[in-house]
Chains A and B, each alone.
Chain A
């Protein structure tokens, strides 16, 4: 191999730099987030927790399309309880703390959904009410 003396140390340096984030954090991804359960003590959601964990984003997209584009605003019924399709009307009525619920995992996985550009968090609503 030509220029072995340059290539091999170069590769070693590259591998060290490329893997820096992993070994710098001691090969752990940090504590796994524990999203806050509904403060109101609700135990029931529109779907089982595992489904919600993996599918909530597609479910929200489906709700959005059904409500806005197809005009199907009928409530979702799960175990006898009615939920009006929507972030503000369904999700946030139980999960009243977006910062402790939504953000805990979204920050951990570094996703920035744009829901909150328009949709209001309970904290937003309270903040406006307190102002004169």
Chain B
């Protein structure tokens, strides 16, 4: 019995030592493999670094909203909103809790809470501002989504939604500092007056938001809101990473602001106020 216990303890000790030592030995003996793995991982890190600095490679779609053209023309804001609602089968529920908004209007103090001042100009105090999903470079909604139902499209920087995967947990709505996401508390269909046959509706229990009209861009069209006011060019849409694009020229010329830039979300929507 004594002998058995003694040999058992010996075997257990050797096994424990081997278990602790094996990973170290494996690590030391496979250094060439580890080096190649590092080299493989390097571009990934580079990409992460690019993201940290707020620069995404490739096309990054963005928007400049020239609010000066909307001042005193609230009907133009409504026209933009109506164009979006029609293109995306957005319901008009008429109740604050259930309402669905992709692009909507808000007073300056709500749209730019950290840039509002005590004595703002009359124009700013009296006019509503167009607000929508900012398609951030660092989107907090994407970080919190447990199912990856919302994600960044790498080739154009759009923060996209896959309604098929949304489980309706609403984490993204908590995370979004801009209130750009709406939850379908009920079946939206009874509240849609006419359907756009090219676009689906949503069902009860999913979150939705502006998608920069991905489906229209694929057809070579401009987003519905841009097209609604194209005669006065109040909204400019384009690639923020291409210095030749119209949007970059506007950004270089005009003084613009973003919504709550201090959060570090790096919005893609700019405002001329």
Question: Could you list which residues of chain A lie within 8 angstroms of chain B, going by C-beta atoms?
Answer: 64, 68-69, 71, 73-74, 87-89, 117-120, 122, 124-125, 128-129
Contacts and interface: CB of A to CB of B under 8 A. Distances in A.
A88 B201 CA distance: 11
A120 B195 contact: yes
B231 interface: no
Determine chain A's interface SS by DSSP, over half rule.
helix
The residue among B192, B197, B202 with the most chain A CB atoms within 10 A of its own CB is B197
Contact of B163 (A73, A118, A125): A118
B76 interface: no
A88 B164 contact: no
Contacts of A87: 200
Contact of A128 (B162, B164, B194, B215): B194
Interface of B: 89, 151, 153, 155-156, 158, 160, 162-164, 189, 192-195, 197-203, 214-215, 218
B193 A128 contact: yes
Given A64-B164, A128-B193, A128-B194, A69 B151 contact: yes
Interface SS majority for chain B: loop
A68 B218 CA distance: 12
Contact of A119 (B151, B155, B162, B200): B200
Nearest to B189: A124
Q: Ordered nearest first, which 3 A-B pairs have the shortest CB separation?
A: A73-B218, A117-B203, A118-B200
Contact of B195 (A68, A117, A124): A124
B215 A129 contact: no
Given A68-B160, A68-B162, A71-B214, A120 B194 contact: no
B144 to A, nearest CB: 18
A89 B200 CA distance: 10
A118 B162 contact: no
Contacts of A64: 164
Given A68-B160, A71-B214, A87-B200, 16 more contacts: A69-B162, A71-B158, A73-B215, A88-B197, A88-B200, A117-B203, A118-B201, A118-B202, A118-B203, A120-B195, A120-B200, A122-B197, A125-B195, A125-B197, A128-B192, A128-B193
Contacts of B195: 120, 124-125, 128-129
Given A118-B203, A120-B200, A128-B192, A71 B155 contact: yes
Contact of B198 (A74, A88, A118): A88
21 contacts: A68-B160, A69-B151, A69-B160, A69-B162, A71-B155, A71-B214, A73-B214, A73-B218, A87-B200, A88-B198, A118-B203, A119-B200, A120-B195, A120-B197, A120-B200, A124-B189, A125-B197, A128-B193, A128-B195, A129-B194, A129-B195
